[in-house]
Amino acid sequence: MYKKNIVLAALIVAIPLIANAQNTRSAVAVTGSDAATCTVPDPCRTFGVALSKTNSGGEVVVLSSGGYGPFEVFQSVTIVSPPGIYAAIAPPSSGTAIRISGPSGNSVVLRGLYLNGSLGGFFGVFVASTGTLVYLENLVIAGFSSSGFTGVHNLQSDVRMKDSFLRNNDIGISLVGTSGTARARVTIDHCRLEGHTYGLSSNNYSDATVTNSLFTGNFRGVSIDSFSADIDARINIDNSVFAQNSVGIFAIRPLALIRVSSSTITQNTQYALDIQQGAQVMSAGNNVVIDNAAKETFTGTFTLQ
């Protein structure tokens, strides 16, 4: 009887552990089912269900090409569509393809996804959390094109974007912080931003670093703009090209600061540089500014260093 009680107690203790068991690696497929376990041999159909069955710090892998619905991320996770697999996410009208929420300190990786705003989606990636580290790698974000619709919108977190293509959104990347200590930050490396009203739009309390990237066919390639009397925003640009935009680089208001080095600004149809109302654009050298309709217009400062 004593041994039976020990076995029974052990089973009672184990039941909650079994019930709460989660995957370290989950999977989704177009042939999957949301009633499945979301493992690689038994994939789910949607990211939302797969994420609910994935441990914090785990990963979700796409197994087959097709369309997957929008979803929200609350935990640290890596979501991967491997090379050769087309994983498309098209949010409904005025919706968001991928919303990143959750507590400060999370780390989220999105790799190899195609975000399509052709149905009227408002945001491609909306980073709504504070203090989250977000890696965007090998993404295509296109067609979020109505006024105000945005490929990547970041509030008070750090976004690191690499090897990605943003095309024909109204705003490619938007940064909006809330204070000097709650800043929106982005690094952009080896990316192409094409066909936007604003390729990179830096608003108040934001920091951006752009390297090895191309801005083309935009109304403004990069823009620091604000309706307020002042704006605390900084953009550092190195080894990048601004070609065939209306304005290559735009900055307005005091405390707006853009530093440019080893970059080419060419064939822009209005201005290479448009610097207004006390903004500062500083050249650290080795820039080529050539064949623009006008080199610059400014009431701010343009400094050669």
Q: Is the CB of residue 202 less than 8 Å from the CB of residue 224? A: yes
In a domain, 157, yes or no: yes
Question: For the sheet containing 241-243, what is the strand order?
Answer: 66-68, 87-89, 113-116, 140-142, 165-167, 192-194, 214-216, 241-243, 264-266, 288-290
Q: Which amino acid is at 234?
A: R
In a domain, 242, yes or no: yes
* pLDDT value, residue 18: 35
69-96 pLDDT per residue, tens: 999 999 999 999 999 999 999 998 889 9
In a domain, 33, yes or no: no
Distance CA 148, CA 169 (A): 9
The answer on pLDDT for 46 being more than 90 is yes
Q: How many CB atoms lie within 10 A of CB 2?
A: 5
In a domain, 27, yes or no: no
Q: For the CA atoms of 252, 258, 260, 266, what is the dihedral angle to 10 degrees?
A: -20
Evaluate the CA torsion angle 81, 137, 241, 180 in order and state its sign.
positive
* pLDDT value, residue 280: 87
The answer on pLDDT for 13 being more than 60 is no
Nearest to 230 by CA among 184, 265, 279, 274: 279
In a domain, 19, yes or no: no
Q: Is the CB of residue 131 less than 8 Å from the CB of residue 108? A: no
Domain containing residue 98 = 49-304
Tell me how many domains the chain contains: 1
Q: b/e map of 166-178 (b: 16 or more CB within 10 Å)?
A: bbbbbbbbbbbbe
In a domain, 36, yes or no: no
* pLDDT value, residue 227: 66
* pLDDT value, residue 16: 42
Q: State the pTM of this model.
A: 0.90
In a domain, 74, yes or no: yes
* pLDDT value, residue 225: 86
In a domain, 80, yes or no: yes
- Domain containing residue 224: CATH number: 2.160.20.10
Q: Chain-wide mean pLDDT for the chain?
A: 90
* pLDDT value, residue 20: 55
Q: Is the CB of residue 138 less than 8 Å from the CB of residue 111? A: yes
More confident residue, 55 or 276: 55
